[in-house]
Structure 1
Amino acid sequence: MAKSVHYPCYLLLLFLILSFHRSSQLQPFQSQSLLRIQQLLNYPSFLTSFNSTTDFCNIEPTPSLTLVCYEDDITQLHIVGNGGVPPNFSTDSFFATVARLSGLKVLSLVSLGFWGALPESIGQLSSLEILNASSNYFSGSIPASLSSLRSLQTLILDHNKFSGEVPGWVGFLPVLTVLSLKNNSLGGYLPDSLTRMESLRILSLSKNNLSGQVPDLHNLTNLQVLELEDNHFGPNFPGLPYKVATLVLRNNSFHSGIPAELVTYHLLQKLDISFNGFVGPFLPSLLSGLSMNYLDISHNKFTGMLFENMSCHAELAYVDLSSNLLTGELPPCLNLSSESKTVLYARNCLSNQEQEQHPFNFCHNEALAVKILPRDEKRHNKKVLASSTMGGVVGGIAIVGLVVLFVKRVYSKDGVKKPQRKIIVENLSTVNTVKLLSDARHISQTMKLGSSLPTYRTFSLEELKEATNNFDASNLLGEDSNSQMYKGKLNDGTPVAIRSSKARKKVGQRDFTHHIELISKLRHSHLISALGHCFDCCQDDSSTSRIFNIFEFASNGTLRDYVSGIPEKKMKWPQRIGAAIGVARGIQFLHTGIVPGVFPNNLKITDVLLDHDLLAKLCSYNLPLLTEGSVGAADSSATKQNSGTRGRHEDKKDIYDLGVILVEIIFGRPVVKNEVIVSKRSVTSKHDS
């Protein structure tokens, strides 16, 4: 009978073999390198255990020292010091020694008191994936040898004294996901190569001396954290990818509006844009963002009204709206006392008085595009009289210069043959009118910068019904045989004007494509610009029955009210100059800002409206619409524009209309004998032909 096999004996033997521990044996030069590091650092207390017999790969990690080995290589070296090195310490010798550890993937040297330049020998660590040299005294430029580390994923050089610019080669590190250079002395502009860093998740450049426009970062689809506080970036809001979760722009030089698309960034948790010069309407939808828990817009110039029915995200723990130009009432979701929530809203013009508020007029006056000089009826001394006279002369010269400029542009053959395709916003002329604006202290930044418009979009009919209380008669601004104009207010509090027009019979939405494309381009700081459209379709045949065009709403009436109308509202010279330049820029945009140009527009001074900042905006221009009754005016002219058969002098009609408007601006009286001007225009046109 065969002997039985004693399995427990074999199992015990197998267990003993598997449990035999084989220590990683470093190559001698690596052990010598670690002992040399101990010597160069002057034998600090956390390295006292190092000696020639130390098993370096089995040292217990401490807060000051961590060593990790893989097979016979040191792959990670973490040293955290107390900020001091020996007086005769050599940074070059130290990094030359570290460079011998060629298998390093992670190198962290924090608070060791290193000073001088970061040696180029750091580039010899070709396997390095993470480098953290923060909280030292490194100075000079970031070494170019780092560009050779093609496996580098994390680069942290915070809290040093690096100077120079952010190197352009960082954009060519293929797998870099974290770039943190906070608290240094870096200056200059950001390199355009940043826009190609598709793997980047964290970009932190706070507390440097960086300036200029932030490159468009839309292509960085993995970017989650962008920290740029305490620099000089600006003036425009940076382009961002939709995955961003933390955005800190605090204490920079931004003074534009914030894009409306920001409310669609559903992963955005922290937004800090405080201590800048941001203007335009605040976006209340930010309060109800799907992930928002920290919002700070304090110390800007945001306008707009808050309402009781606004909602807030449940996780919103910190909100600072203070030191802006907000009006209305704080919504209850922000007015609830809670230890877990901080809400600051002082120094606005809100009705809530628990925190200090300015009177309502303060926010209105601060938002004006023109600061009106204080009126002092008792003091009319020679100095004031001389200043007023000089202002009138300069203003008259500036306005006349505009007329000459536009007439010259229209009559220029080159201008006719080569229409300018680029949308023109600011570059009006080479005459000194722009300098005049810059020098005039009474004309505010709002006028010089223009307005920030939300993205043109398609509205739903339900949105428009809600905005106008189902097109209630109390919101009707005016009507004609084919259309009605309503005042409305969108969900975010933006006031709008909504034109409802009856479409031609049996016209589908495809037929409107060209016209909607043209309308969407008619957006300028001196036009009542289109914000969007809506089609109301018949249920039986899907044809379009009504067209709704949504425009900006100007709340301060017509330019005539402020020039020759209401005595209490009459503009001073700086304001009239600003209005004249605004009208001129609006006409120039209609003629040359898009192709084909939009003219003639049959402009009158009552067609120039003033928004809440007294910014001049043209409200009546040749808008192409496929609506009933539009065959004559708008639609026929659009057809002519498309076919290239516009009348020879149609663009010049607008110049004559501009001249009439300027006459009323200069003299402050309505032009009552308009037939004389029409007659002159007719004679001149015949002479030109």
Structure 2
Amino acid sequence: MAEKLSHIKLLVLLVLSISVSYTEQFQSSQTQTLLRIQHLLNYPPFLKSWNNVTDFCNMEPNSTLTIVCYEGSITQLHIIGDEGAPRLPNNFSIDSFVTTLVMLPSLTVLRLVSLGLWGSLPSKLTRLSSLEILNLTSNFFHGTIPPEISSLTRLQTLILDRNNFTGGLANSLDSLSALAVLSVKNNSLYGSLSDSLGNLENLRVLALSNNKFSGEVPDLSSLANLQILDLENNALGPRFPAVGNKIERIVLRKNEFTFGIPQEVQSYNQLEHLDISSNGFVGPFPASLLSLPSIAYVNIADNKFTGMLFEDLPCNPDLDFVNFSSNLLTGKLPSCLRPGSRNRVVLYAGNCLVSGDNNQHLISFCKNEALAVGIIPHHEKRKVISKIALALSVTGGIIVAIIVVGIVILVVRNFIAQRAGHEPPSRFVEENASTSYTSKVLRDARYITRATKLGALGLPAYRTFSLEELEEATNNFDTSTFIGEGTHDQMYRGQLKDGSFVTIICLKMKRYHGIQHFMPHIEIMSKLRHHHLISSLGHCFEYYLDDSSISRVFLVFEYVPNGTLRSWISEKQIKRKLTWAQRIAAVIGVAKEPCCKNLQLQPAFARRVHGKRASPKFSQWIE
């Protein structure tokens, strides 16, 4: 019996000795790994005390260095250098550095900030499969963010701010189901934002500011936990992002948002910080934002917001900063924002407010500037016909008509040119077209760029007209300039100051829809610039400064003096009618053009092309 107990004791001692030996070897291995990191970082001052006898797991943490161990293994490594640290020497190898890092397999937190690291981030970093927090801020990493990073399925925080990353965000990011913070600020990332961002259901912070992202912001309304959305200084737009009602901070400053603020924003009861300055927002500013229960910061400066402010508008008592500067607001500054009401900053210069000081625009400027974005002041309240979304039916019909007339113009021009032989071809739209390119070359998109083709048309850039310009062009819409009318529109012939003739279509609107419902169709028309088609040159909105409701829309097109499609197809006095072969060839040619492919996305256009009536709901949008 005693001999048996002796054997058991020997076995226990053997296991303990092996365990201690393994632990010592493991700790020694971790020590060598950290010393190797010290060497690769070029022995920064705050790491010079490291040596072979340093007890890394029991070091006192500080602002530059923190090492956390669990059961003898290093689980957290925080190394923070001086802000603005220079790039490491040319003999530094990011591949060797990451190869060394992955020898700490238990790491869950890795922060390497302002250390001068440079190079393309190796995908082998994903071998640290236990990582939950990765922060590589303020280094010199370049190239694309490796898509393999999406294999770090435990990752909760990814911060790559202030580097030189390029390319886009990987579509596979939606596999990071635990991700709560995604921050890639101050890089050179570009391209559109993937819809997969809307699948990161645990995301709380999305910070993409100071990059080169463009296009629409994907729908983020399904991100129920999203609290911070920072998209400053990109080229995103034109629609205001859709987010959940738990949002606390929205920063859209310096982008290309042009629509209005959606009604849903007025229900963001946890919103504290709203900065949408330096964009192209139009339409009425919802003053109720000033009284949201959590709001403390509002900046809408440098936009084209309209609407009237009233003295008795309520404000949140905790509102500390308000900037209305450089808009087209009218009325009076709310009493809750006036100096002395509390210690807050309020900026409102460059509007049309009755303020009693000299920092507002003159009445004449307010009128002219308002007209430039389609506003005409009226001092008496009257019934306003304003439902902007009418464009899906009316604009659809107009554009289809333009396309068909453009087809006929092209075919007739070519037909006459063939018959005339030696006579130079003439364009049926009054313009100063360039003769640098033949019609054959212009028709073939393979030979020249779209920009060159548009330049060859000799057309001005699409722009916003003021109502005064249109009134001057038509002699105040004199009856002598009247061309015709439809059920919901009137058409006038005008001559601009530069001598060019235009066709102006006036559409009357119904109420209840904001400008955001009409702008997509304005954008489509502005892009239909092609030698086969009559081009839209611009638009003007007419509405009132007191309630910002829109009454009329003016659409400005090239003037076509050569009759209608019907006349060139069926009227008897036209001797050279178009053959079916010519008509079909022209239609196919237009359909193949890149500028016309967007029409396939518009159901109203498709219905009109096939000779069917538009959906009944479209007809309810016009007066």
- TM-score norm. by structure 2 comes to 0.61
- Residue identity in the other structure for 2:275: D
Residue 429 (structure 1) aligns with? 399
User: Are 2:125 and 1:193 equivalent residues in the alignment?
Assistant: no
Residue 505 (structure 2) aligns with? 580
* Candidates 606, 611, 618, aligned match of 2:543: 611
Q: CA RMSD in A?
A: 4.0
Residue 175 (structure 1) aligns with? 178
Given that residues 442 and 574 in structure 1 are in contact (C-alpha distance below 8 angstroms), is that contact kept between their aligned partners in structure 2?
A: no
- Match of 1:573, SS state, is strand
Residue 453 (structure 1) aligns with? none
Given that residues 234 and 254 in structure 1 are in contact (C-alpha distance below 8 angstroms), is that contact kept between their aligned partners in structure 2?
A: yes
1:446 and 1:279 map into 2 onto residues whose CA distance is: 15
Alignment of 1:196-215 (within 5 A): 196-215=199-218
2:186 and 2:235 map into 1 onto residues whose CA distance is: 14
User: Are 2:116 and 1:91 equivalent residues in the alignment?
Assistant: no
1:230-258 C-alpha deviation (Å, 9 max, x unpaired):
00001111111111100000000111111
- Residue identity in the other structure for 2:331: G
Q: How far apart are residue 561 of structure 1 and its match?
A: 9.3
Report the CA distance shift for 1:80/1:610 in structure 2 as closer, same or farther (over 3 A): closer
Residue 54 (structure 1) aligns with? 54
User: Are 2:75 and 1:75 equivalent residues in the alignment?
Assistant: yes
Q: How far apart are residue 310 of structure 1 and its match?
A: 0.6
Given that residues 329 and 352 in structure 2 are in contact (C-alpha distance below 8 angstroms), is that contact kept between their aligned partners in structure 1?
A: yes
Report the CA distance shift for 1:302/1:175 in structure 2 as closer, same or farther (over 3 A): same
2:462 and 2:92 map into 1 onto residues whose CA distance is: 60
Report the CA distance shift for 1:93/1:292 in structure 2 as closer, same or farther (over 3 A): same
The structure whose RCO (Cα within 8 Å, separation 6+) is larger is: 2
- Match of 1:580, SS state, is strand
- Match of 1:266, SS state, is coil
Residue 17 (structure 2) aligns with? none
Q: How far apart are residue 560 of structure 1 and its match?
A: 14
Q: How far apart are residue 580 of structure 1 and its match?
A: 2.2
Q: How far apart are residue 611 of structure 1 and its match?
A: 3.2
1:244-291 C-alpha deviation (Å, 9 max, x unpaired):
100000000111111122111101100000000000001110111111
- Match of 2:329, SS state, is strand
1:371 and 1:423 map into 2 onto residues whose CA distance is: 20
* Candidates 109, 122, 128, aligned match of 2:112: 109
1:445 and 1:256 map into 2 onto residues whose CA distance is: 18
Unpaired segments ≥5 residues, structure 1:
1-23, 373-421, 448-555, 594-608, 619-649, 655-660, 662-689
Residue 65 (structure 2) aligns with? 65
Report the CA distance shift for 1:233/1:308 in structure 2 as closer, same or farther (over 3 A): same
Report the CA distance shift for 1:184/1:72 in structure 2 as closer, same or farther (over 3 A): same
1:157 and 1:202 map into 2 onto residues whose CA distance is: 13
Residue 424 (structure 2) aligns with? none
1:258 and 1:327 map into 2 onto residues whose CA distance is: 18
1:243 and 1:584 map into 2 onto residues whose CA distance is: 35
Alignment of 1:265-664 (within 5 A): 265-337=268-340, 340-354=343-357, 356-368=359-371, 423-424=392-393, 426-427=395-396, 428-430=398-400, 432=402, 444=464, 573=494, 580=505, 582=507, 611-612=543-544, 616=552
User: What percentage of aligned pairs have identical amino acids?
Assistant: 48
Report the CA distance shift for 1:329/1:238 in structure 2 as closer, same or farther (over 3 A): same
- Match of 1:582, SS state, is strand
2:495 and 2:243 map into 1 onto residues whose CA distance is: 38
Report the CA distance shift for 1:250/1:610 in structure 2 as closer, same or farther (over 3 A): closer
1:445 and 1:203 map into 2 onto residues whose CA distance is: 38
Q: How far apart are residue 311 of structure 1 and its match?
A: 0.9
Given that residues 198 and 219 in structure 2 are in contact (C-alpha distance below 8 angstroms), is that contact kept between their aligned partners in structure 1?
A: yes
- Match of 1:174, SS state, is coil
- Residue identity in the other structure for 1:31: T
- Residue identity in the other structure for 1:573: G
1:424 and 1:62 map into 2 onto residues whose CA distance is: 66
1:516-540 C-alpha deviation (Å, 9 max, x unpaired):
xxxxxxxxxxxxxxxxxxxxxxxxx
- Match of 1:147, SS state, is helix
Residue 137 (structure 1) aligns with? 140
Count of matched residue pairs:
419
Unpaired segments ≥5 residues, structure 2:
1-22, 376-390, 407-428, 430-453, 481-490, 512-516, 522-540, 555-611, 617-622
Report the CA distance shift for 1:301/1:371 in structure 2 as closer, same or farther (over 3 A): closer
- Residue identity in the other structure for 1:114: L
